[in-house]
Every structure is written in structure tokens, then in C-alpha cells.
Structure 1
């Protein structure tokens, strides 16, 4: 960071003179260096896409997934350290299971998001722990309709129509602001997300990546990976759009 943070970043419970907790700043930097994650809340569901960077060509297809299901109606997208995020995924599954055993119904998306955000925040209060080096998006459909939340290392939890994380965050935000979220469908959002991720990926500087796409719609009400045929069509659409843009 800066010299202002010297000595104030040794403990997560210490504020710097300008009111910052540098351990949280470092965790946020880990998220910024991760592959881009894009999520869109549509009129008929929620779609998430991830630019999963491949550190090795020998990595098996589908390894180290960054999109996970928490319950039938909830999914999570990950940016940052996978090892840290795995703890949040396990915690979210535990919370969903516990809520259903107590109340006899699936956990609302907002309740789960707030519980995980609180769990994140606890890890910014004590010197014996550190913040999670990851941000997550929680997407799903409950009795209130499609829901999308993003949780940051600080424990901040906000609801969105469209959001992004990772190295291409700002460029994605500019593209998301052009979308009419009340009209876009899940099928259209799949193509839009694929196009955005391919447009922000720097093929000259960045390593190869694998595009991961998942969705949950009002029709299925189950969070799942986008079917292969639709995934392949979206990827082909994105590559064609990128080629056309390079020719202009």
C-alpha cells in the first residue's frame, strides 16, 4: 500500500490513522487480481459467468470450479482465493441446511446472504483471524423472485441487478450500465455475459481461460450449469462479436 500503512497492517483489528484496515485492503486486492465474474438478475432468473484462469494446460476440464450450488435454489460465484471461498461455500451449505431443519422451508436468499456477510465480518474483528481473500455473488430464486447479492471481504452485503468482481470489474460495470434489467431474459443474459467476459479478457497479457456459466430460472427453479448446447452457442456468439469488433 503506502508508507501510511507501515505498522498498521500487522493486525486485522488495528485501524490506520486515516481510518483503514489494511488487512481488508489486501484481501480486496486479491479479489481484484482474480478472473472476472459477472452476474445479471433478469426478469425470469439470474445468470452468472466466470472467467476461470487456467494456470496450466494440464489442468483437467471442469477442475477448480468457481460456480457452486448451495441449495437447489441458490448458487454462488467466486472471485479471489478458491481455498478461502471453499470455507464460505461450506458455511453457506451448512446455513441452508440448518435453516430448513428449523423452519421447514428453503432459506430465503437475503437471509443467507446476510448470514454469510456476518460470518465474513467476524473475520475482520479479531487479531487471531484474517479476512477471507475472496468476494462472492449469491444468486437464486425464492418467494420474492430472482435475487442477487454480492459479499465482499469486509462483510459488506448489497443487492444488485447486475454486478462484477475481479480484474475486469470496471470495464464490465460500464457494459452492465447499458442493460435494461427489467426486460432482459436469462437466455439473452447468457450471451451478454459471455460477450462481456471475452471482451475484457486480454489475450496478450492473461493466461488462457475457461468460461463457466450457470443460471437459475423461474421455469426450472434449480441452480445449475448452463446446458452445453446453450453454453457453446453463447461462446461462439462471444468469439464472433470479438472478431467483428477487432475488424472495425
Structure 2
């Protein structure tokens, strides 16, 4: 990255070559976070993250996967305190929508709301952009959906995607191995294979996973025994490239 030369003091200032350095710094923060992966299947959506707990940390509590509504979950990469603020915003927005319209909020509507909020933080002095990217996954009347928001306020729909450190290589891996008609179990195995591609520990114990099926439309945590099963399937079905 070229020297900012004072143009990085506020997100409201463009550099002479048309860049907003504060936003670029926030995106760089995302790239330094541990991996988060989202994979869509014909039966639902899967979110998986890598979490490396300290020795005495209670490992059963997931720090990077959040429930927004029964049918919507979020996985984060980057500065996680910023993710908590956005998740709280998404929960309030989702519940307000249900009270006003008497129906569950669509996944895209939540993604757009959070992206709009990210964009607001690039337009005012005295604030900084959110240093986190989010994978917003869910099942609604439109089907199984995955969106990604980033600090610039962009939101894009994906069939499979990775964010965080090494995301470029992992996304290339997903492009080669993803299929539109994947079962939920195969999507879970692919998500683990994608994380293990760049994992620091190479252990399934460092992976946390949740998923939402189109049958019950409820976010459910995947237990350790199932994670072990999917890890074995990942090694068989999705070998790492040489």
C-alpha cells in the first residue's frame, strides 16, 4: 500500500488517486482475521469458522457465529467487537420488521440494512469504518441464501464464500469443488475442507459450525461428533490441491 500522506485521517477524504484509505485499512483488518466460510446447499446453508481458544478458555461458546433470527445467522471475520454491534443492530431490525409487518424478515433485507449501516460509517468524520466482514446466511421464502457485507458497505450474494486470512486461496478452492446440487452433509464437509486448507491448527476442534435447514428454518449448532464425521468426509471427498 502506498503512503497515505495525510489522506487517511478521516473516511470522508478521497486521496488524489480516488481512494479512501480508512476503508482500505478496515478491509485489511478483515484479511487478518481467522477464516469464516459459508456454503449453500439444496437443503439449507452452512456457516463454519475457525476459532483457536486459549488453554483455559471455555471452548463450547462460539465467538464468531451469531443468531439474528430463527432463520438467519451471521459468521464474522475481522474485528469481532464490531461484529457484535452489527449483530445487535440486525436483531433489533429483524424483530422490528416482525412487529410491524407480522412476517419474518428476508435475508437480503437484513444484509442490505447492515451494508447501508457500514456505508454510513464511511461518510462522517469522527467515526471509523467497521473493521469486520459478515457472512449473512439464512432460509426464507426465496430459498437458501448467503450474502457477504464488507466495511465499504458492499453486499453481494454467493453460493459459497470465504472471508478472512487466506480467503483468496480458499475461494479458489470453493470454486473448483462447489456444486449447486450439494446435500447439506456435503456442504458441511466442503466448509471444513475449505477452512483446513489454511488452518493454523489442522484440527477439527478449532472449527465451529452452525447450519439452517429449509425444513425447520432454525439455526442449529453442529455438535463435535458430527464435526468429526464431516472432517473425515472432507479428507475423502475434497482433497487438498498439491
With the shorter chain as reference, the TM-score category is over 0.9
- 1:46-85 correspondence runs (5 A): 46-54=45-53, 56-63=54-61, 65-85=63-83
Moved more, 65-74 or 227-236: 227-236
How far the C-alpha of 1:64 sits from its partner, in A, is 5.4
What secondary structure sits across from 1:23 in the alignment?
helix
Structure-2 residue corresponding to 1:233 = 229
- 1:1-248 correspondence runs (5 A): 1-3=1-3, 5-54=4-53, 56-63=54-61, 65-203=63-201, 210-238=206-234
Q: Distance in 1 between matches of 2:152 and 2:195?
A: 26
Residues 197 and 240, structure 2, Cα contact 8 Å, conserved in 1 = no
What secondary structure sits across from 1:177 in the alignment?
helix
How far the C-alpha of 1:99 sits from its partner, in A, is 0.3
How far the C-alpha of 1:210 sits from its partner, in A, is 1.5
Query: Structure 1 residues 129, 245: closer, same or farther in 2, change over 3 A?
Result: closer
Any idea what the Cα deviations from partners look like across 1:142-186, whole Å, max 9, x if unmatched?
Answer: 001101100000000011111110112011111111234321111
How far the C-alpha of 1:44 sits from its partner, in A, is 1.4
Any idea what the Cα deviations from partners look like across 1:50-94, whole Å, max 9, x if unmatched?
Answer: 11233x322211345101110000000000011111000100000
Gaps of 5+ in 2: none
Any idea what the Cα deviations from partners look like across 1:186-237, whole Å, max 9, x if unmatched?
Answer: 111111111221122245xx99972011111112211121233322212344
Gaps of 5+ in 1: none
Aligned pairs, number:
241
CA RMSD of aligned residues (A): 2.2
Structure-1-length-normalised TM-score: 0.90
Moved more, 85-94 or 221-230: 221-230
Structure-2-length-normalised TM-score: 0.92
